Amino acid sequence: MHILMVTAGLPYPPASGGALRTYGILRGLHETGHKITLLSFHDGESSPEETPLANYCQRIHTLPPPQRTSKDRLRDLLLSNEPDIAKRLYSDAFSWQLRAILAENHFDLVQFEGIEIAPYLPLIRQHTQARLCYDAFNAEAELQRLIFHIDRKEIKRWPAALYSLMQVGRIARFEKQLCQTADLVLAVSHEDAAILQSMSNGTPLYVVPNGIFTEQYTGAVSAVNLGEHAIVFTGKMDYRPNVDAMLWFTEDIWPLIRDKVPQATLTIVGQKPHSRLSALQQQEHITITGWVESVKPYLKAAKVYVAPLRMGSGTRLKILEAMAAGRAVVATSTAAAGLNVELKSALVLADRAQDIAQSTVRLLQTPDRRQTLGESAKTAVRKYYDWSAIIPRLITAYKDIGLE
C-alpha cells in the first residue's frame, strides 16, 4: 500500500508527543512493507534526508511553515466562526503542493496527523480517490473545555479562559466535519474515541494508542547527575497543559515535598519553556533545561517521575517513556487517562496536591518500592505499548475500509 502522510512538522527528532506518535507509525508501517511519502512543514534548519526518515520514506516533501501574527489571530477570533487551530497552519502554498503530489502519484491512503494539519483534509476530498484518514491526537474540543475550567479559577487567567471558552464550540463543529469527511478516524484512547464517535455519524473509528519503541529506553544510557532525590518532568514546555502542571506542582506540591525531603531537586525537561515558567529558574533546587537532545539521560537519573496534569486528553507519551525507562511514576487521573488497567497498576495515582506530595515523598524514601514499580512498569509498557503491539491494530483499521 502506498500512503501519503501529512504532518504539521517533520517527525524527527521525535521530541514531542505528536512527533513521537507520527514517527512510530511511519516507521512501523515501513517495517510492515508499506510505502510512505511524507509531506510536512519544516523550518529548514536541517535536511530531512540526513535523518532516519530517509530510511523509511520513498519521498519527503517540505515547505516552510506559514507566518501567522497575533494580529491575524485576534482578527479571526473576533470576525470568524472558525477555530483558531484550523487556521494555525493554513498555507495556499502547502495546499497547492498537496494537490500536486496527489495529481502526480497514486496513493491508496492519505493520513493526516493531528488536528493542526487536518484542515487540508476537507480541501482535498474532491482531488483524490485515495481513502482519507484523520489521526486525532486529542479530542480537542474536550481538551479546551477542561482548560477553560482550570483557567477560570484564577483571575489573571481569565483572558486565556475566555479564549478557550470561545474555541470549544468552534472546535467541536470542526472536529465533527473532519470525522464525517474522513473515511477512517483514529483515536488514541477509549475516552477520546467515545467523544469522537458521537461526532462521526458512522465513520469507522478505531483506538490506536500512542506507543514507543521500548528497546530505546532499556539500553545503556549515561545518566546526568541530578542528585539522590531527583524528581523529573518532561514535555513540550510551551504547551498549556504542561505549563499548568508545573505551575501547580511548584506552587502547591513542591513546598510540601521539600518540607519532608529538603534535598529533593526538580528538573523540568523540554523545549520552548513558556515565559510563565521564568520565575521558577530563580528557585533553589529547580532546573529548567530547555531543549535537550534526548530525555533518556534525565529519565535514567530520575528517582521519581511526576505527571501532575490537570488538563489534557489522549495517552501521555511522557508517562510511557518514563515507565519504559523503569521509573517510578506519580500521576494524576487526568495524566493516566487512556492507559490500560495493567499500566495504571504500575504507577501511583493521586489527584490532590497533598496526596501527590505524600506519594512522591514516600517513593523518594523507599528505594525498594521504586524498584518494584519500575520493573512492573517496564514489563507492562513493553507488552501493550511497544509499536510492535500497536501497528497490527492500525493495519486492522485499514482493512476495515478495504485497504491491504
Sign for the pseudo-dihedral over CA of 329, 186, 402, 198: positive
The partner residues of 232 in beta bridges, in order of sequence, read: 267, 305
Closest CA to 153 of 277, 244, 273: 244
Q: Do residues 169 and 142 lie in contact, with contact meaning Cβ atoms separated by under 8 Å?
A: no
How many folded domains does the chain comprise? 2
For the sheet with 205-207, list strands across it. Answer: 59-63, 35-41, 2-7, 109-113, 131-136, 184-187, 205-207
Per residue of the chain (404 residues), give pLDDT as tens: 999 999 999 999 887 888 999 999 999 999 999 999 999 999 877 789 889 999 999 999 999 999 888 887 778 777 788 899 988 999 999 999 999 999 999 999 999 999 999 999 999 998 999 999 999 999 999 989 989 998 998 888 899 899 899 999 999 999 999 999 999 999 999 999 999 999 988 999 999 999 999 998 887 778 799 999 999 999 999 989 999 999 999 999 999 999 999 999 999 999 999 999 999 988 989 999 999 989 999 999 999 999 999 987 666 889 999 999 999 999 999 999 889 999 999 999 999 999 999 999 999 999 999 999 999 999 999 999 999 999 999 999 999 999 98
AA identity, residue 339:
L
145, 281: one domain: no
* Pair 190, 249 in one domain: no
Pair 111, 201 in one domain: yes
| Signed CA dihedral, 298, 300, 306, 307: sign only | positive
User: Do 109 and 256 reside in the same domain of the chain?
Assistant: no
Query: How big is the chain by its Cα radius of gyration, in Å?
Result: 21
**Nearby residues of 312 by Cβ (< 8 Å), 6 or more positions away:** 138, 143, 146, 241, 334, 335, 337
Residue type at 183 in one-letter notation: D
- Domain with 134, as residue range(s), is 2-211+387-400
Name the pTM for this structure.
Answer: 0.87
Quickly list DSSP for 165-231: HHHHHHHHHHHHHHHHHSSEEEESSHHHHHHHHHHHTT--EEE----B-THHHHS--PPP---TTEE
- Co-location of 121 and 244 in the same domain: no
Going by C-beta distance under 8 Å and a sequence separation of 6 or more, which residues neighbour residue 161?
147, 148, 151, 152
Q: What is the pLDDT of residue 78?
A: 77
Same domain (yes/no): 160, 49: yes
What is the reported pLDDT for 314?
A: 61
Only one residue has cell 504547551, namely: 239
Q: Are residues 76 and 45 in the same domain?
A: yes
Q: Which residues, in sequence order, are CB contacts of 397 under 8 Å at separation 6+?
A: 184, 186, 204, 206, 208
pLDDT at 313: 65
- Are 42 and 75 part of one and the same domain? yes
Residue 297, CA distances (Å) to 23, 119, 403 in order: 21, 37, 41
On the CB side of 144, CA atoms within 13 Å amount to 18
DSSP string spanning 102-151?
Answer: HHHS--SEEEEESTTTTTHHHHTGGG--SEEEEEESS-HHHHHHHHHHHH
Task: Identify the CATH number of the domain in which residue 234 sits.
Answer: 3.40.50.2000
Q: Give Cα 256 distance to the centre of its chain.
A: 29
Residues 190, 221: one domain? no
**Cα-based distances in Å from 334 to 1, 84, 245, 339, 404:** 37, 24, 11, 10, 36
**Cell (9 digits) for 259:** 518540607
Q: Could you tell me if 37 and 180 lie in one domain?
A: yes
Are residues 159 and 10 both part of a single domain? yes
Residues 131 and 7 in one domain: yes
